[in-house]
Amino acid sequence: MAITGKWRVLYRQGTGFWRMTAKWAVVFGALYLLDGGLLRSWGDALVWPMIGILLWAPFGIGVVWYPKKDQRVELTTRELRVRRKRLPMEKVNLLHVARLWLEGRSTADDQPVSEWIRFDRLVWVPLHDGRAFGVEFRDPAAFAKVFGAFAVEACGGPDIVRAKAATQTYPDPRPIRPRPASADGGSWPDLLDIFN
């Protein structure tokens, strides 16, 4: 694989918490200024910030309590980082990713990208040992496009990918499923055990 040594950020997904908070403040701040400056008194217009806080609170609590829903993800030329965990590109089967991308697919379950549903947030990342783990995205098709193009480039281009795919054999990726909980309750299922 001809992976460049230069560190390039190919894809970055933040939690969306501060962006959503800023939009919320702008909308209800504008309502406050409009209502207080044109329609009613400033004291009466205070109801808009209060409504904004009451409506924003469930979103803020949800992001804090369920970080995987909009987790921080970063793809560089060296690694895939999910929250604080990192997966080096040397462990990823980039040839499989590139081959599927050239065929219009991008996941270990062979689902065509064009048929992805917006609610399907999970993207499977195949590894050399035959396993594949899932990562959640707000826009999985956007990540698949970047990851597939990177894999084709890292493998030397479309022609080389097709030639290698015709000669090389590797196990079909098996999605890693959550671990069954033990009798005493055990730990929460962790799809990212491969990072450790």
Per-residue pLDDT tens for 118-162? Answer: 666 778 888 888 888 888 777 777 888 888 899 999 999 999 999
164 with 107, same domain: the answer is yes
* pLDDT per position as a tens digit, 26-84: 989 898 888 887 777 888 888 888 888 888 888 777 666 655 555 778 888 888 888 78
User: Sign of dihedral through CA atoms 109, 79, 168, 115?
Assistant: positive
23 with 80, same domain: the answer is no
184 with 96, same domain: the answer is yes
- The 3-state DSSP class for residue 177 equals coil
**Other Cβ atoms closer than 10 A to 107:** 23
Beta bridge partners of 86: 81
Residue 187 is part of which domain span?
72-194
| pLDDT (average), residues 105-110 | 61
54 with 132, same domain: the answer is no
Enumerate residues 6+ apart whose C-beta is below 8 A from 80: 73, 74, 86, 87, 89, 92, 125, 135
Give pLDDT, residue 116.
Answer: 65
Q: Cα–Cα distances in Å, from 193 out to 69, 122, 149, 188, 190?
A: 18, 16, 26, 11, 6
pTM strictly above 0.75: no
Alpha helices of 124-179 — where are they, by DSSP H? 140-154, 158-167
**Other Cβ atoms closer than 10 A to 160:** 14
21 with 80, same domain: the answer is no
175 with 84, same domain: the answer is yes
